[in-house]
Amino acid sequence: MKEKVVLAYSGGLDTTALIPWLKETFDYDVVCCCVNCGQGNELDGLEERAKMSGASKLYIEDIVDEFCDDFIMPCVEAGAVYEHSYLLGTSMARPVIAKKLVEIARKEGAVAICHGATGKGNDQIRFELGIKALAPDIKIIAPWRMTDLWTMQSREDEIEFCKAHGITLPFDASHSYSRDRNLWHISHEGLELEDPSQAPNYDDMLVLSVTPEKAPDKETEVTMTFEQGVPKTLNGKAMKVSEIITELNKLGGENGIGIVDIVENRVVGMKSRGVYETPGGTILMAAHDQLEELILDRETMEAKKKLGSQFAQVVYEGKWYTPLREAIQAFVESTQKYVTGEVKFKLYKGNIIKNGTTSPYSLYNESLASFTTGDMYDHHDADGFITLFGLPLKVRAMKLAEVKNNQNQN
């Protein structure tokens, strides 16, 4: 009986060419696994294509709700944003995909897992760190790094390879953007984006959204409720997190929300430019922040902001299955106990405009915040506070003056 390899299969040209290549190079029985994180119509025709290419079996694993509940929401609650702009759409998906690949490999008794990530990108790290953490005994095959065995260097090469193996594919050699899509976002790389001096060709590029210029000339009002940091209703209707994100994608896309053009620092050391469409995710994170600012005290907010940035870097670097990620997430979860309430906002031409926030746990006190003197705040108390708060500055200034005076006397 042949040894089995589980192939992370997207149905694209790269992973389709990998099926006959794995059989020919290693004499493996190839079991394909496509993990559905919300790719939509990208899953159409996968089974027929995999079998036609020589796979013995194809698993299509629907993990959309797990992805939303166990991977997206911890990042939302942490306020995890990489380098100010990237909402981690690809980064969050890779660890759950790795988890499912390992589960299928165990089920099939496979000796290896193969992925089609290139040797220049972040995904090779994310996939492999996840696999190593969950299944250190399983071999990992990364063809794009095996340049002595994987000799194809272009789409044309891959298409010719498939034709030589009797595989007819709905792909041509024309170049297009390199994309990654799931329920949270879609990323775009390549073509004019490889030159930072060039503006993105949004008319050809955008999939989920319109540009703000093409958005309606009227506001879209939205109301959401949260319980302990988790969204529960959208415009009065109770929904699962995955359903809320799906609806927010529609509303955000129509209003030009969440389109970012960034140059980011990859883990492997190079800079790369991409355009990300994250309409629903951008709204969800903004709504969560809108509620949280009423509830968290200053010091907790400051600590959470720092740890949220670190959490983003941990996730970006593929270190989901680490004690550090677990520890930061535990802190974040402790801050969400009282993040409950209602947020209202308007969507308008790429903008998310606050429209009112309420919470039973709000620390905002109108009596304290008002310019009118209330019973809870005596303005005279500020005298002693400022004296003590400014004491280090005063002592330093006095010491500097003393030193200067001594120097002048000498």
Which one of the listed residues 49, 94, 181, 325 is annotated catalytic? 94
**Number of separate helices (H) and strands (E) present in the chain:** 15, 14
**Which residue among 14, 29, 126, 180 is the active-site one?**
14
Tell me, letter by letter, the H, E, C secondary structure of 301-319: HHHHHHHHHHHHHHHHCCC
- Is there a catalytic annotation at residue 123? yes
Distance, first Cα to last Cα, the chain: 94
Q: Which amino acid is at 381?
A: D
In sequence order, what are the residues at sequence separation of 6 or more whose Cβ sits closer than 8 angstroms to the Cβ of residue 204? none
For 357, the enclosing helix (H) or strand (E) is strand 351-358
List the 237-238 sheet strands across, edge first. Answer: 237-238, 230-234, 220-227, 341-348, 351-358
What tokens appear for 170 in the block? Answer: 């709905």
Kindly name the residue from 56, 178, 242, 272 that is annotated as catalytic: 178
Spatial separation of the C-alpha atoms in residues 182 and 38, rounded to whole Å = 5
Cα separation, 192 vs 177, whole angstroms: 9
Rounded to whole angstroms, the Cα distance separating 316 from 322 reads 13
Chain-centre distance for alpha carbon 283: 14
- Active-site residue, from 49, 53, 123, 273: 123
What is the three-class DSSP state of 21?
helix
- Residues whose CB falls within 8 Å of the CB of residue 48, separated by 6 or more in sequence, listed in order: none
Pairing label, strands 237-238, 220-227: unpaired
Measure the CA–CA gap between 273 and 337, rounded to whole angstroms.
38
Active site residues: 14, 94, 123, 178
